[in-house]
Amino acid sequence: MFRRRRSVAYFAHDPSHRLLLAPDADDDGEFTCDGCQVVGAGPRYLCDHPGCGFKLHEVCARRFPRSLKSIVHSKHRLKRRESAGGGDGSKCEVCGDDVKSACYGCDAGACASATVVVHPLCVHLPPVARGSAEAHPGGHDSWLVQKASEGGAASTCAACGRGIDGTWRYRCGTCREDVHPRCLVPAADQCRGGEASTVAMAKQCCLSAENDVIGCLNISYYYR
């Protein structure tokens, strides 16, 4: 595990407060990020101002630039926002869940009127992921793809059986099945480790003779 002690400020928090990687960053317990209001786990940043208690996903503390390009919205740069705007009920373009706080939005072209918003975690979803055995038995790689143009049969999630309302889904080319992004890569699992540590964990696990293949598949995702 790499240790980064440098403190950070968060754009939507008191600029005089500094956040530090929690000393118990290996703690696997789940928590709700005070930045984006999405549940996470694993490494987190805590405000060191006495009595403040503000906490953030590592992603929200360290990978939340003012604007970015993401594969989930390749047409335009996405811009950081303190809230979804447009009142309650804004849905993430990628996962279809409510966007309750800090996020990315697009205000270019036709997107401006359509209130395109994306969770800060969802802009970093891996392009290729391998779900847990429950999410996708068989252990195939699935690709993050956008819904085909309007029309066509509505997709149903192979993991939970519910319809896929969001624009994006993971598709297994082998099984020709679609799964909700968050059914394949739960937000808490996505926060649990950075790319590097997830890959390292997978290798370590697969090299150990005690672990069978199914055990390895429980590592929720990996990057290429």
Among 54, 64, 104, 221, binds Zn ion (CB under 5 A): 54
Which residues in 82-121 contact Zn ion (CB under 5 A)?
92, 94-95, 106, 108, 111, 119
Closest to Zn ion by CB, 124 vs 180, is: 180
User: Between 65 and 138, whose beta carbon lies closer to Zn ion?
Assistant: 138
Nearest approach in angstroms of CB 70 to Zn ion is: 11
Decide if residue 76 touches Zn ion (CB under 5 A). Answer: yes
Residue 45 near residue 56 (C-beta atoms within 8 A): yes
Interface with Zn ion (CB under 5 A), residue from 10, 12, 35, 178? 35
| Residue 27 to residue 188: CA distance in whole angstroms | 12
Ordered DSSP codes for the chain: -------B--TTS-TT--EEE-TTTT---EEE-TTT--EEESSEEEE-STTT--EEEHHHHHS--SEEEETTEEEEEEEEESS--SSS--BBTTT-SB--SSEEEE-STTHHHHTEEE-TTGGG--SEE---TTTSTT---EEEEEPPSSSSPPPBBTTT--B--SSEEEEETTTTEEE-HHHHS-HHHHHHS-HHHHHHHHHHHHH-TTS-HHHHHTS-----
Q: Minimum distance between the CB of residue 162 and Zn ion, rounded to whole angstroms?
A: 6
Q: Which of 224, 43, 39, 56 is nearest to 143 (CA)?
A: 224
The residue (of 63 and 140) whose beta carbon lies closer to Zn ion is: 140
Measured from the CB atom, is 32 or 208 closer to Zn ion? Answer: 32
Report, in Å, the least distance between residue 209 CB and Zn ion: 26
Which residue, 60 or 216, has its beta carbon nearer to Zn ion?
Answer: 60
Residues 138-197 that bind Zn ion (CB under 5 A): 138, 140, 157, 159-160, 172, 174-175, 180, 183
Contacts of Zn ion in 13-32 (CB under 5 A)? 17
- Cβ proximity to Zn ion: between 134 and 204 the closer is 134
Min separation Cβ 222 and Zn ion, Å: 16
Q: How big is the CA angle at 59 (ends 58 and 64), to the nearest 5 degrees?
A: 125
Q: Work out how close the CB of 140 gets to Zn ion at its nearest, in angstroms, rounded to a whole number.
A: 3
Residues that bind Zn ion (CB under 5 A): 17, 33, 35-36, 47, 49, 52, 54, 57, 60, 75-76, 92, 94-95, 106, 108, 111, 119, 122, 138, 140, 157, 159-160, 172, 174-175, 180, 183
